[in-house]
Structure 1
Amino acid sequence: MKIRNVLFGLITVALSAASGFLTTTDAQIAVQGETVYTVSGEAIQNGIVLINNGVIEEVGSEDEVDIPSDYERHEAAVVTPGLIDARTVVGLAGYYNQDHDQDQLETSNAVQPELRAIDAFNAREFLVNYLMEEGITTIHTGHAPGAVISGQTMIAKTSGETVEESLVDSTTTIAVTFGPSIDNNYDSPGTRAKAVAVLRQNLIEAREYADKRAAGKDQSRNLKMEALADLLDGKIRALVSAHRAHDIMTALRIQREFDFPMILEGASEAYVVLDEIKEADIPVVIHPLMTRPSGERKNVDMETPAKMKEAGIPFAFQSGYESYVPKTRVARFEAAIAAANELGFESALHALTLGAAEILGIDDRVGSIEEGKDADIVLYDGDPFEYVTHIEGVIINGEIVYDGE
């Protein structure tokens, strides 16, 4: 029986348990793989991963790890950590592509940093389950690009019936956009210069708000200013979407001016300004490699991840935001394209797991198969980056949430 979040109706815990497949987080599981990619270390041939109480208990070869007799056993050709989609809008943008399930971009105002992703995230959205079945166990999701400041993002697991059950981090970044996509959604600002001027003015006002807050001075509470003040105080990062080289340079210039922590997202022409990105010490969530090369993305290059690796720039993969059905890509397939375009298997897997976790600041919990980390594990019958490979099982927080059928 397939265990998943369903759009039409609920499968109760009792019914799932009756199937003999659902495993609670206090279960004891042994995963055996012909090859176990820990990512944090060397791949283990004939490896074993023991899971106890939702976390990874022990990892090693079959010569090093004894499987207790009462542990539930699962076998696979290849085992990896749970995969991480470092930028998506799934859970806010829904499968049906109708007004009632499209909360990723509020178009009443071009500057709304106070909008919280957790207030719109639907853990039961079909697309969340869809990504889980493709091995994505953690998503960084929230408000989409397309506004000067569109709102906040969050991190969630792709299991759980409510946002509280899925939640990893409620306020991860504030989404900011540089470039012409703003003009597609708002009458004003309509040009690059105007959009940047609007952003700068709001950041200047936020600095004044933050200074008064730090000094304990009385002032009316302002949710917009609170969010931006937290950004300027380094409590939250900016997730800046910019594709053209000159938009990337503008983003780096504004970051230097206001000195806020930043992740660059999209970056279709990043290969033009690699030295500048490296000097700024800014990580990148690269655009989906198979995005359509048009508009500000017309100069995409499938070798950009390989060039970033060579330049020493941390990067991760994303499914991004699709304005058309089926509404989401799959980061695993995007990483596969990078692997085939000079990046290589292990570097692509690292960027899809531990590299993404490090950029998002959650590598203490996820991203690799190590003792004490969340038991998020994916089982395959072959190479994870081959399209014909089947996922035979997905484990999240020590619970088997998908059996591959």
Structure 2
Amino acid sequence: MKNLIATLALLAFSLPAAAQDIAVRAGTLHIAPGESVTDGVVVIVDGKISAVGPVAETDIPEDLMTIEVPVVTPGLIDARSTVGLSGYLNQPHDQDQLERSDAIQPELRAIDAYNPHEKLVEWLREHGITTVQTGHGPGEVVAGQLLIARTTGDTVDEAMIEPVSALAATLGEGATRHDRKSPGNRSKAVALLRAKLYQAMEYRDKRESAEEDKQPPRDLGLDALVDVLEGEIPLIIEAHRHSDIMTAIRLADEFGFRLILAGASDAHLLVDEILEADVPVIIHPTMYRSRGSSDYQHISFTTAAKLMDAGIEVAMQSGFEGYVPKTRVVLFEAAMTLPYGASFDQALELVTTAPARILGIDERVGSLEVGKDGNLALFDGDPFEYTTHVLGTVIEGRRVSERRR
């Protein structure tokens, strides 16, 4: 049966490109973490899931093209990346993920730099990643804005899901390692951020109280920070050392903004504090290199499982790599949590339902439910097994990748 399904899969992927109506049948269908069926099917019409469940209980229109593969999961989600801004050539002309001229630059928009044709976007797509939050990387106190995009589309507008999804910030050594004098240490970095947030509060109050013809001059950076203060978008703070994590939590409490922790190498030392603050974590890639910075000295393969077991919402990220190939693949990073305490369902949650919830897009993606986007990752075996291949990727009913990876 397995060989038959694999053969049918290969035959199916030799067919011409499909429209947005398709049925995908799987020997094992993972509808969501903890919910799977044997011999299941997903029916996608007009890019949306119209039916999902066991084949014996699901109506498949006769004229609908059907493909068969051994295993299907929801399309995978990378919760924090720089792809589309950082390029695979690793040359100055394709590295737009970080602007070093100033410590605080909330006015920088990821949408103005994102390249949907970048090879790294294709690389992620070929490994089952259908959705990515990407933009300016860690390395400045406020690096710029992030966006959420599909890993397909000929233009930025076609790829876009959320043009502004969050503001990216950094605390700790990552915010002070540059060739400028300021900020030179942690206290200065936090002081700069706190002062800018207070400035944004004053700017907001002036704009709200001033008459229409007496509005203060528009400030794009303060506008973005006002969105953070108003809860329109979260502030994602890259913080690894335990003291920096606590600083981020204190700032969120002081100013009342929505905080998402990223990186968080020391998060396993602060489980109770993070849980009490009700802050989600976009954990560092499991195989992140611990050398090169004292901030990573407590990095651990077991952190993701410990946080999830404690009830903290955790998602996986590819992050930013300063060396070729310039990005990680969250499929592999999630797989590496399995030998270190995570269950299969927890690993799948790290790259499907959890990032969807954290990013606020769970009404559209993250699980295979009627009405959600028809995003699927197709495999010839257990998604987290080293010998398994990705057979293709479906985004809103379109087979956007047919390569066997």
Q: Is the 8 A contact 1:92 1:102 kept in 2?
A: yes
User: Per-residue displacement from partner, 1:76-130 (whole Å, max 9, x unpaired)?
Assistant: 1111000000000000000011111100000111100000000000000000000
Q: Mind listing any 5+ residue stretches in structure 2 that lack a counterpart?
A: 1-13
**Offset at 1:41?**
6.1
The 5-angstrom pairing of residues 4-403 of structure 1 reads: 20-25=15-20, 28-39=21-32, 42-185=35-178, 186-217=180-211, 218-294=215-291, 295=293, 296-403=295-402
Amino acid at match of 2:81: T
Q: Secondary structure at the match of 2:66?
A: strand
Amino acid at match of 1:355: A
TM-score by length of 2: 0.93
**Offset at 1:22?**
1.6
Output the CA distance in 2 between the equivalents of 1:126 and 1:272.
38
Q: Is the 8 A contact 1:40 1:370 kept in 2?
A: no
Output the CA distance in 2 between the equivalents of 1:71 and 1:350.
30
Output the CA distance in 1 between the equivalents of 2:208 and 2:383.
49
**Offset at 1:299?**
1.4
Output the CA distance in 2 between the equivalents of 1:314 and 1:213.
36
User: Per-residue displacement from partner, 1:161-195 (whole Å, max 9, x unpaired)?
Assistant: 11111000010111010001222124310100000
2:11 equivalent in structure 1: none
**Identity rate of aligned residues, in percent?**
50
1:16 equivalent in structure 2: none
Q: Secondary structure at the match of 1:333?
A: helix
Amino acid at match of 1:115: L
**Offset at 1:214?**
2.5
Runs of 4+ in 1 over 3 A off after TM superposition: none
Q: Is the 8 A contact 2:33 2:346 kept in 1?
A: no
User: Per-residue displacement from partner, 1:253-311 (whole Å, max 9, x unpaired)?
Assistant: 11111110111000001000111111111000000010111211121111111111121
User: Per-residue displacement from partner, 1:185-207 (whole Å, max 9, x unpaired)?
Assistant: 24310100000000111001000
Name which of structure 1's ranges 151-160 and 207-216 shifts more when overlaid on structure 2: 207-216
Output the CA distance in 2 between the equivalents of 1:193 and 1:350.
36
1:3 equivalent in structure 2: none
**Offset at 1:404?**
2.7
**Offset at 1:20?**
4.4
Q: Mind listing any 5+ residue stretches in structure 1 that lack a counterpart?
A: 1-18
The number of residue pairs the alignment matches comes to: 385
Output the CA distance in 1 between the equivalents of 2:202 and 2:30.
49
Amino acid at match of 1:67: I
**Offset at 1:213?**
2.2
Q: Is the 8 A contact 2:374 2:397 kept in 1?
A: yes
Q: Is the 8 A contact 2:176 2:189 kept in 1?
A: no
**Offset at 1:381?**
0.3
**Offset at 1:29?**
1.0
